[in-house]
């Protein structure tokens, strides 16, 4: 029964994440051919994941199922490696090498920098929280 509950909570998170990704894709539809929507969801996902894992989980003592729902479910469906790969191939196929290079750099380097910033922010928030609690006691 526990595994079914875990499956269900991830399923709910994935439904929300996939729906958010679709809505953002609609918002970022442009005629330039550059996949702004995919870039946005992947960069914001790279930023939010460490915040969820390192700050919110610790601060609110979230249950494992809640963390799985938010990370594997919501963010797993929200971010998309398969769409990134398809967009990359589409830019390659159209010989748009400048846009392809920019997209690869923005996604890979940008994702890495967003993850670093998310980890930094999580650590900073946790430290401030710890110092505030220590000061109050």
Q: Where are the alpha helices (DSSP H) in 61-96?
A: 64-68, 76-78, 81-93
Are the C-beta atoms of residues 137 and 67 closer than 8 Å to each other?
no
Note the pLDDT tens digit of each residue in 34-55.
999 999 999 999 999 998 888 8
Residue 42: the pLDDT is 96
- Binding site, residues? 76, 79
The C-alpha atoms of residue 81 and residue 35 are separated, in whole angstroms, by: 13
For all residues of the chain together, what is the average pLDDT?
91
The C-alpha atoms of residue 58 and residue 69 are separated, in whole angstroms, by: 16
- Binding site for Na(+), residues? 76, 79
Cα angle 96, 40, 99; round to 5: 10
Q: Is the pLDDT of residue 134 over 90?
A: no
Note the pLDDT tens digit of each residue in 55-69.
877 788 888 888 888
pLDDT, mean of residues 10-22 = 95
Backbone angles phi, psi at 125, to 5 degrees: -65, -40
pTM of the model: 0.86
Are the C-beta atoms of residues 123 and 54 closer than 8 Å to each other?
yes
């Amino acid at each position: 029964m526990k595994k079914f509950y875990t499956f269900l909570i991830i399923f709910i998170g994935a439904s929300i994440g996939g729906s958010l990704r679709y809505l953002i894709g609609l918002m970022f539809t442009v005629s330039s051919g550059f996949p702004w929507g995919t870039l946005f969801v992947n960069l914001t996902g790279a930023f939010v994941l460490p915040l969820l894992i390192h700050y919110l989980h610790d601060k609110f003592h979230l249950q494992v199922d809640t963390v799985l729902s938010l990370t594997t479910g919501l963010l797993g469906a929200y971010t998309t490696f398969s769409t990134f790969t398809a967009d990359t191939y589409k830019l390659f196929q159209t010989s748009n090498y400048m846009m392809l290079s920019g997209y690869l750099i923005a996604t890979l380097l940008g994702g890495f920098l967003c993850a670093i910033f998310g980890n930094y922010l999580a650590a900073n928030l946790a430290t401030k929280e710890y110092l505030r609690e220590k000061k109050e006691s």
